[in-house]
Amino acid sequence: MKRDFLDLSSLSREELNGLLALGARLKAELKIGLEHPYLRGRTLAMVFQKPSLRTRVTFETGMAQLGGHAIYLAPNDIGIGERESVKDVARNISRAVDLIMIRTFSHETAVELAREASVPVINGLTDLLHPCQLLADLMTLQERFGRDLRKVRVAFVGDGFNLAQSWIEAAALAGFELRLASPKGYEPDKDFMKRLRNEEIGTITDDPAEAVKDADVVYTDTWTSMGREKEAVQRRRDFKGFQVNDALMKNARKGAIVMHCLPAHRGEEITDDVIDGPRSVVLDQAENRLHAQKAVMVWLIRPEILQTTSPSPE
């Protein structure tokens, strides 16, 4: 039975730990020049409805490093859901490739694609979730705080959109404390908020300073995501006071790190001195997209490799 990677909540804790360990192993092997062509002769179809720098570069590079090949399909190449139905796209592509990655708006499009495809499907981002980014972020946290993240306190300051919702899934799975600070009206989806409270993994507030108090990690994202550009002026007004800057960081623990998934709107959700400063790990996050996604692709096509990769000791 094939597996897909559409979210984090469908993973077991053991699978999450295995993916993180495999990502770390692939990163270490690449650093010393050790090739790992686990997917030689395999092909990844990359279906884009939303543009991206990091998603395309890391998936395409990752597939090449694994010995395979990636095909970039721009929005006008397919017209998924318009020129061709999601079902027809899924069934046709499945006859030619071994793996599909989709970066789209509606999460239901990714779910339908996975349901109709006979090959594994990866969520490269939807309006509901961004699991690939979170896997890279968790890798980054482990590099800073060790393998066991249960004692780490993460503060997310910004829009309760796909990134925030994936952080809720990650906290439930990895067991760390999560604090979300969003303006009223911009909180995560009600089901995610209910999960945050019911599983006692964190809190939500409209006070950024309260969320950041004694945090080990301060995370933010753009206030205006793709597809919501018409709301940009109103959002800048509504998110006033939610900027991650030096004053806000004074509430965090000494040595706290700053994270951002990129692209950043400098001067809006984050200041230059913070994103470029010594506490920033945004480039580590961006690099780890490569290694985390390679782990996902290997797991989906050759799961036996994940089973032979054990998490390294602290």
pLDDT digits (tens, 9 = 90+) for 61-76: 999 999 999 999 998 8
92: pLDDT strictly greater than 50: yes
Of 49-53, 62-66, 151-155, 207-211, the range with the lowest mean pLDDT is: 49-53
Higher pLDDT, 161 or 308: 161
- Percent of the chain exceeding pLDDT 90 equals 89
Supply the DSSP symbol for 85: -
| Overall average pLDDT of the 256-269 stretch | 97
Residue 48 has, within 13 A of its CA and on its CB side, a CA count of: 19
- CATH class held by domain 13-130+289-307: alpha beta
Rg (CA), the chain: 19
Confidence of residue 82 (pLDDT cuts 50, 70, 90): confident
Q: What is the pLDDT of residue 24?
A: 98
CA 89 vs CA 95, 128, 212: distances in Å: 10, 21, 44
CA angle 109, 113, 118 (to 5 degrees): 175
Element (H, E) at 1: none
Query: Hey, what CATH class is 133-285 in?
Result: alpha beta
| Distance between CA atoms of residues 308 and 67, nearest Å | 20
Q: Which residues pair with 177 in a beta bridge?
A: 153
Q: Is residue 314 very low, low, confident or very high in pLDDT (cuts 50, 70, 90)?
A: very low
Q: Is residue 248 within 8 Å of residue 256, measured between CB atoms? A: no
pLDDT at residue 198 greater than cutoff 90 = no
To the nearest 10°, the Cα dihedral for 111, 113, 114, 116? 120
| Positions of CATH 3.40.50.1370 in the chain | 13-130+289-307, 133-285
Quote the CA–CA distance of 47 and 56 in Å, as a whole number. 10
Among 313, 292, 297, which residue's Cα sits nearest to residue 170? 292
Say what the pLDDT of residue 313 is: 45
Q: What is the pLDDT of residue 137?
A: 98
For residue 311, name the pLDDT band (cuts at 50, 70, 90): low
**pLDDT at residue number 193:** 87
Residue 139: pLDDT over 80: yes
The percentage of residues in the chain with a pLDDT greater than 70, rounded to a whole number, is 98
Q: Within a 10 A sphere around the Cβ of 250, how many other Cβ atoms?
A: 9
pLDDT in tens, 282-295: 999 999 999 999 99
pLDDT for 310 equals: 63
- Tens-place pLDDT, residues 142-184: 999 999 999 999 999 999 999 999 999 999 999 999 999 999 9
DSSP string for residues in 192-203: HHHHHHHTTSEE
Q: Which token pair is 26? A: 């692939």
Sequence-separated (6 or more) residues with CB below 8 Å from residue 30: 36, 65, 291
Residue 72 Cα distances to 6, 44, 45, 62, 101, angstroms: 19, 9, 6, 13, 10
Look at residue 250 and give its three-state secondary structure.
Answer: coil
10: CB partners within 8 A, 6+ apart: none
User: 3-state DSSP call for residue 244?
Assistant: strand
- Point out the residues that are catalytic: 103, 130, 133, 221, 261, 289
Per DSSP, the chain holds a count of helices (H) and strands (E) of 14, 9
- What is the residue whose two structure tokens read 């997917």? 39
User: By C-alpha distance, which of 147, 140, 90, 143 is closest to 119?
Assistant: 90
Whole-number average pLDDT of the chain = 95
pLDDT at 103 over 60: yes
Q: What residues form DSSP beta bridges with 226?
A: none
What would the two tokens of residue 126 be?
């939807």
- 309: which 2 tokens? 């990769």
